Amino acid sequence: MTEEIVKSALSKVMYPGFTKDIVTFGFVNNIEINGTDVSVTIDITSSAPEVAQQLKDEATAALKSAGASAINCNIKTPVIPREGSSKGKNIAPQIKNFLMVSSGKGGVGKSTTSVNIAIALAAQGKKVGLLDADIYGPNIPRMMGVDGMKPEVNGNKVIPIKAYGIEMMSMGALMEEGQALIWRGAMIMKAIEQFLRDILWSELDVLVIDMPPGTGDAQLSLAQAVPVTAGITVTTPQGVSLDDSRRSLNMFQKLDIPIAGIVENMSGFIAPDTGVEYDIFGKGTAQPMADEFNTKIIAEIPIEPSIRTGGDEGKPITFVNPSSESAKRYLAAAESIWATIEEVNANGGANNEGVQPTTPPGVSACSTGAAAAAPAPKASDESCGTGCGCH
């Protein structure tokens, strides 16, 4: 037996429900050969016992017909979070933690923050996904250097794009530009649910989610679909931005999302020639708001030209220049966020039971115009299909 023979045998084993084999998916690891004895580990993304059993049977049969005698086929499945580590509805249980990145208004640097925090968390050894749920202005693909790249679709699942060591998916990578601009209510809910259910995310330590600006349907849908472990809000130091950010923090409270802190972005300016820091929009002005919400400023990120060029060119500063002042601040913010996530989990985990739709007996929760117009759910459906979360 050789590694080539083993791989060729296993490449005949399709992943259940897909038209692609387990070798192409990259699920086959640790091939050990001793004469005709073969030991392999198959690392899968499903935690369903029947999938593991089917793969074990098919892989063992394939190896046997390729000439192996003693076969040890170890199927590794994702660890489902401990009972009690989070509560309520969770349509993406292979993801351990969810971090919602919000802002009161557009253009304050929410996507820039999401990208750099995601990269910082990955640099600190976490398995990270980055979901661009800013359906109205999906610019994460450009910032991650994968603009225009279409993800691979397999069956009815989409495989996340990989960049800078993290898994990424964006509405921008799935549809034509501007297509989502008129989306409202039920369509947004459906899109958010699909991002979580129909994307083949691996077993992640954390999914960083870049939300659309403001406090609307997308935020509510996300909070109802998964227990969000922590939320951060991004603001600039000007009073008008702070007012809007207050609404964001209020929303976290209403949705039972633990607040991990505030990123004050464009906080001062570091002159690239001298390194001297100047106040432009102000600096430290978010502190009273942090006190009001019993949270903290986890980073003051200055206006730095290389943050913008890094975004435009798809070269995030935290990856390409981790020793820069701004990158150090993103890394410190990521540490602080992780500490909050651990604290939340140590205290029973996130819980979205309180934000599920409540329905008086005999009345459908699908009471919005768009949802009411949707086809009636079949008895076997997991949900009514409108994403209203009523089942």
Ligand X SMILES: Nc1ncnc2c1ncn2[C@@H]1O[C@H](COP(=O)(O)OP(=O)(O)OP(=O)(O)O)[C@@H](O)[C@H]1O
At 232, which helix (H) or strand (E)? Answer: strand 230-235
Using CB under 6 A as the binding rule, whether residue 103 contacts ligand X is answered as: yes
Stretch that binds ligand X, among 31-39, 133-141, 179-187, 314-322 (CB under 6 A): 133-141
Q: Applying CB under 6 A, which of residues 44, 95, 108, 158 lies at the interface with ligand X?
A: 108
Using CB under 6 A as the binding rule, whether residue 283 contacts ligand X is answered as: no
Stretch that binds ligand X, among 25-33, 107-115, 183-191, 223-231 (CB under 6 A): 107-115
Q: Which two tokens stand for residue 390?
A: 């009523």
Name the β-bridge partners of 230: 99
Work out how close the CB of 322 gets to ligand X at its nearest, in angstroms, rounded to a whole number. 16
Task: Give residue 43's Cα distance to chain centre.
Answer: 20
Using CB under 6 A as the binding rule, whether residue 271 contacts ligand X is answered as: no
Our CA dihedral for 211, 186, 200, 146, rounded to 10 degrees, sits at -50
Our CA dihedral for 131, 134, 136, 138, rounded to 10 degrees, sits at -50
Q: β-strands 153-154, 157-158: how paired?
A: antiparallel
Q: Applying CB under 6 A, which of residues 16, 106, 314, 322 lies at the interface with ligand X?
A: 106
Choose between 167 and 304: whose C-beta lies nearer to ligand X. 304
Which residue, among 355, 373, 354, 351, has the nearest Cα to 364 in the 3D structure? 373
Using CB under 6 A as the binding rule, whether residue 314 contacts ligand X is answered as: no
Using CB under 6 A as the binding rule, whether residue 110 contacts ligand X is answered as: yes
The response to whether 88 counts as a known ligand-binding position is no
Using CB under 6 A as the binding rule, whether residue 316 contacts ligand X is answered as: no
Distance CA 242, CA 269 (A): 19
Distance CA 244, CA 215 (A): 10
Decide: residue 319, CB within 10 A, 0-12 exposed, 13-18 middle, 19+ buried: buried
Using CB under 6 A as the binding rule, whether residue 139 contacts ligand X is answered as: yes
Choose between 9 and 188: whose C-beta lies nearer to ligand X. 188
Contact letters (x/-) for ligand X, 44-83, by CB under 6 A?
----------------------------------------
How many chain residues bind ligand X (CB under 6 A)? 20
Stretch that binds ligand X, among 17-25, 99-107, 201-209, 376-384 (CB under 6 A): 99-107
Name 179's Cβ contacts closer than 8 Å, sequence gap at least 6.
Answer: none
Choose between 78 and 311: whose C-beta lies nearer to ligand X. 311
Work out how close the CB of 119 gets to ligand X at its nearest, in angstroms, rounded to a whole number. 14
Decide: residue 194, CB within 10 A, 0-12 exposed, 13-18 middle, 19+ buried: middle
Using CB under 6 A as the binding rule, whether residue 258 contacts ligand X is answered as: no
Q: β-strands 230-235, 161-163: how paired?
A: unpaired
Q: How many CB atoms lie within 10 A of CB 243?
A: 13
Q: Applying CB under 6 A, which of residues 78, 104, 109, 387 lies at the interface with ligand X?
A: 109
Q: Applying CB under 6 A, which of residues 112, 215, 318, 340 lies at the interface with ligand X?
A: 112
> Cβ(98)–Cβ(229) under 8 Å?
yes
Question: Which residue ranges are tagged as binding site?
Answer: 104-111
Where does this chain bind ligand X (CB under 6 A)? 103, 106-112, 134, 137, 139, 213, 265-266, 301, 303-304, 307-308, 311
Question: Which residue ranges are tagged as binding site for ATP?
Answer: 104-111
